[in-house]
Every structure is written in C-alpha cells, then in structure tokens.
C-alpha cells in the first residue's frame, strides 16, 4: 500500500475505523492549523469538530463527508474534541467523544444519528461516571457493547485515584503497578454505562501487572479492542516511547497478557490507531505528522495491511 495520507486538504488524527453498510468509515479527530506552543498536557490539540471519512476499500480513494458535529452543538462541553469512536445499534449510529466540560474536566459524550457519516445530535450531558479520554466501543459476539477509555497526563486518567477528580494527582512511582485503561459495558440504550468502569488490567507473561516505569509496555492512551480467532486483542499506545503494542485475553474484561509491538514510532509525538477486518483482510489505521513536516498537532491518517502469525501474534510493522 502507498501509505499516503487518506486526505490532505485537512489534518486528521486518531482514526477509529469500522465497516458499516459494506463500506469503511473512519472517525478521526480534526487537527487545526494553529501556531501554538506544545506541552505535555496537550494544550496544542484544540480540535473543535469532527469530519467523517469513508472508503469503498482501504486501498481506494477517501471521501470527506464534511462536518458531522461541532463543539458549539455539545451543550456540556467547553473545548478540545479529542479522539472519537462510533458504533451501530437499534438502527442508529452513535458517536462517542471526549471533551472538557465547563470546569475543564475531560468527560465522554455521545451523539447519535441515522447515517454513519452523520450529522450527529449530542446528548445534553456526558455519560454519567465517565472521565478521561479516548473512548473505544467494541461489540462482542453476544451483542454486548463495551467501552474502553483513558489517557495519562493531559488525558487526566491519573486524576481519578479515589473516584473523585484530583487536579494535581500524579502517575504512580516507577516500581508500582501502572495505571490501566478502564472498561465498562454499555446499557442497551447506548448512552450510559451498565456498570461502573473497572480496570482492564495488563500483565506480563507471569501474570504480574506491568509497572509504571515499564514505559515500553505499560498503557498510556488510545485503547482499541478487536477479536480474532476467539481471542480479545487490546492494543494501545505507550505514549512517551511512541509505540503501538498489544495484549490478549479470553475475556473482554481481561486480564490481558502483554504480547508485543505492532508499530514502531511514527513521525510526530503521538500514535493512535484502530484495527479492522475488511473482506477477510485486516488493516491498521494510524496517524503520523508527515503531512505537516513533523508538527505534532497537525497529523494525517494512514492505513496499511496487518498480518497475524500462526500462533495468533501480530506481525510487527514499521510506519
């Protein structure tokens, strides 16, 4: 595959890809061409709307369906529409997205519509009990939907050690268990959690939780769940070491055993992805900053084919 940006007329990032109505739909965030100072809290990522993309095939041309939802249409949100995801149930399409509320705390909202490309109408309040960023919504074979979410540093996952928001909370010491992504089943109405979020624990091959100082393996942000040959694959970004890695389980709730790397570092700071099957082949959607010459908050979505080995491991790739 050419590995060129899917679109070049706008900056896009954080692609969540799904097959809807026999077509590939990609739900990215929409980077703006701003001149801003970068920091570890992500203040440079000032996205304000979502454009939905689609393709007839992953190798084919990409259609930009235009603005599907804008910040001004989300009553509870104040800024920063970050990485979204989507799901389909009961004849409606659901767009899940993080944003800061009026107090500056990241919450996860939901909007719905009748078409996969939108437009979407946001619920007046965020999901009760939601926090942090990077929602991924996975439908299991029995029809249950699960949401995985959470991101460190600017994503505020570390700010919830007690279940209440603590603005100046820090990540655990290097010799303590790392923070985990959160997972919660969704109610049948798709707009609330069926149970409070719990840890999706990631362990080493001896069953011990990964440590906070193990930053080439521990979780940072960008969870994605897919299922292959009866196994649940939780893939994610390691953040400051810029890797995409994965862990596996026989349950969607975990615990998940770390298995290895998927993608080596891209041009730019962040790495965020999705993995999807299309007509018997598997594809990795991800982003880098090549379109902007390396500016970390002006990114572009790309796609390349993904392969499994006979033992179920994912073949490591370079971008």
Task: Choose among 210, 141, 142: nearest CA to 179.
Answer: 210
Secondary structure of residue 241 in the 3-state scheme? helix
| Number of Cα atoms under 13 Å in the Cβ half of residue 167 | 3
CB 178 within 8 A of CB 75: no
CB 234 within 8 A of CB 200: yes
Distance CA 238, CA 253 (A): 20
Mind spelling out the 3-state secondary structure of 139-186?
ECCCCCEEEEECCCHHHCHHHCCCCCCCCCCCCCCCCCECCCCEEEEE
Task: Choose among 253, 83, 65, 58: nearest CA to 154.
Answer: 83
Handedness of CA 56, 58, 62, 68 (dihedral sign): positive
What are the residue numbers of the active site? 14, 221
CB 118 within 8 A of CB 95: yes
């Amino acid at each position: 595959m050419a590995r060129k940006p899917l679109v070049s007329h706008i900056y896009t990032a954080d692609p969540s890809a799904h097959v809807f109505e026999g077509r590939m739909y990609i739900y990215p965030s929409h980077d703006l061409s701003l001149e801003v100072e970068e920091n570890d809290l992500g203040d440079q990522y000032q996205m304000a709307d979502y454009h939905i993309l689609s393709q007839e095939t992953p190798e084919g041309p990409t259609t930009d369906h235009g603005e599907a939802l804008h910040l001004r249409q989300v009553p509870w949100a104040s800024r920063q529409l970050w990485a979204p995801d989507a799901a389909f149930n009961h004849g409606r399409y659901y767009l899940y997205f993080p944003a800061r509320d009026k107090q500056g705390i990241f919450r996860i909202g939901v909007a719905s519509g009748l078409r996969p490309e939108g437009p979407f109408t946001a619920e007046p309040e965020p999901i009760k009990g939601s926090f942090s960023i990077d929602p991924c919504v996975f439908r299991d074979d029995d029809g249950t939907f699960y949401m995985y979410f959470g991101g460190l540093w600017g994503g505020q996952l570390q700010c919830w050690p007690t279940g209440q928001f603590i603005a100046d909370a820090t990540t655990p010491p290097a010799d303590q268990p790392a923070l985990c992504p959160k997972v919660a089943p969704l109610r049948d109405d798709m707009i609330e959690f069926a149970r409070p979020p719990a840890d999706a624990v990631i362990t080493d091959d001896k069953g011990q939780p990964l440590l906070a100082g193990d930053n080439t393996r521990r979780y940072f942000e960008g969870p994605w769940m897919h299922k292959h040959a009866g196994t649940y694959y939780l893939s994610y970004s390691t953040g400051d070491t810029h890797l995409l890695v994965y862990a596996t389980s026989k349950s969607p709730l975990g615990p998940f055993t770390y298995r290895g790397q998927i993608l080596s570092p891209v041009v730019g700071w962040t790495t965020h992805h999705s993995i999807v099957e299309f007509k018997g082949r598997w594809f990795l959607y991800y982003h880098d900053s090549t379109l902007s010459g390396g500016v970390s908050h002006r990114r572009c979505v790309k796609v390349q084919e993904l392969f499994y080995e006979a033992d179920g491991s994912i073949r490591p790739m370079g971008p």
